Chain A
């Protein structure tokens, strides 16, 4: 009997939030605001639970001597130190900001740099995996936009920046809008399925 109960609650709350968005009746709007505030609070609690999960997964990996358990030990030590510093001094204290600016930001920046190299490599590999017209168009456009955005050796080919502007403003926008239209319809369909109880990403 639990599942129908969960479904009824989820459907009722979903319907109130949806109607509160469209119909500006005081009772619906107030209920919607309260329910969304609850959702934000629950998300914050879920964040704490998730962080505990992260810690426990790596603790188990380290203590059960799984492959690359050393990295889990590094994560656990970093986690405890960061939690101690931020918890004791506060998130905006100089020590907390030092950890953020000198450890977190450089590591994420390095991954971003790695990503650019990897994307260039993936572009070349795309030809091998899918040697078709769409791949040629995809890579050709990417190279054209790159050359027009940052000219090699400062050489500006005539008409290149105009071509870049045209690609960015006409075919790219048309394609993006087509994809976004599909995404929007898919989003509404998924929302309605959850609202009708056909999709139940809750309640086991």
Chain B
């Protein structure tokens, strides 16, 4: 094991320990409120409205490979699906999920099936759809869902590139709310300009905690905050030592 790998392993163990400790502490101490992210406030409101008005929610989970680094943001998309499916499955129009990767399509169908089973609702496997396998064919396949299926809100949470702008534009033209988050840097720049409610940086990964996740979700957000300050301090210390000529 080289130095870099050893540092990586220590970092993961510390992160894991912090998450566990904060989750245990949250049982005895009252948890402080998170800062408000307008996108999630509007989303909770829209979910309620969609159920009442009989509009459909459209969740798109992108085309991240589950065996690659994009898998984490894909799992976030699936967690969001799990949360919204349980609260909207009782609606006349259950949510529809689109993706650009076969494994994500199967997992999204599995989440929808689990939510339907939990509340005793009927499950339609075609609510989880693969719309295309290349970035633009995926977007072209998702556009008819946004235009033709009475969608009240679009949630694009997953691995997307700049092609996401076409879906945001379609959502805006259809008059539905668009909330979007991606792990891709150029995708984030594009969604800042085009999405009604963009999620930038780590905000996407906080989705689970903001949509009523458990103690572990909240603990992981707190652990991220603590470690971010540690990293910032180390960067500043490094810059200072470089400035005075020690490094």
Say which residue of B111, B136, B231 sits within 8 Å of A111 (CB atoms): B136
- Give the number of chain A interface residues (Cβ < 8 Å): 65
Q: Check B185–A179 contact: CB distance below 8 A.
A: yes
Nearest Cβ in chain A — how far from B90, in angstroms? 18
Q: Check B1–A23 contact: CB distance below 8 A.
A: yes
Interface positions of B from 134 to 154, Cβ below 8 Å from A: 134-137, 139-141, 144, 148
Q: Check B111–A71 contact: CB distance below 8 A.
A: no
B interface list, Cβ under 8 A from A: 1, 5, 8-9, 11-12, 15-16, 19, 65-67, 69, 72-76, 78-79, 82, 101-103, 105-107, 110-111, 113-114, 117, 125-126, 128-137, 139-141, 144, 148, 162-163, 165-166, 168-169, 183, 185, 188, 190, 192-194, 196, 200-202, 204-206, 208, 214, 216-217, 220-221, 223-224, 227-228, 231
Interface positions of A from 114 to 168, Cβ below 8 Å from B: 114-115, 118-119, 122-123, 126, 129, 138
Q: Check A201–B79 contact: CB distance below 8 A.
A: yes
Nearest Cβ in chain B — how far from A201, in angstroms? 4
Nearest Cβ in chain B — how far from A14, in angstroms? 11
Residues in A with CB closer than 8 Å to B1 are: 22-24
A interface list, Cβ under 8 A from B: 18, 21-24, 36, 39-40, 42-43, 45-51, 53-54, 56-57, 60, 66-68, 71, 104, 107-108, 111-112, 114-115, 118-119, 122-123, 126, 129, 138, 176, 178-183, 185-194, 196, 198-204
Q: Check A199–B79 contact: CB distance below 8 A.
A: yes
In the complex formed, the residue of A with least CB distance to B82 is A201
Residues in A with CB closer than 8 Å to B125 are: 53
Q: Check B144–A71 contact: CB distance below 8 A.
A: yes
Q: Check B136–A108 contact: CB distance below 8 A.
A: yes
Q: Check B130–A54 contact: CB distance below 8 A.
A: yes
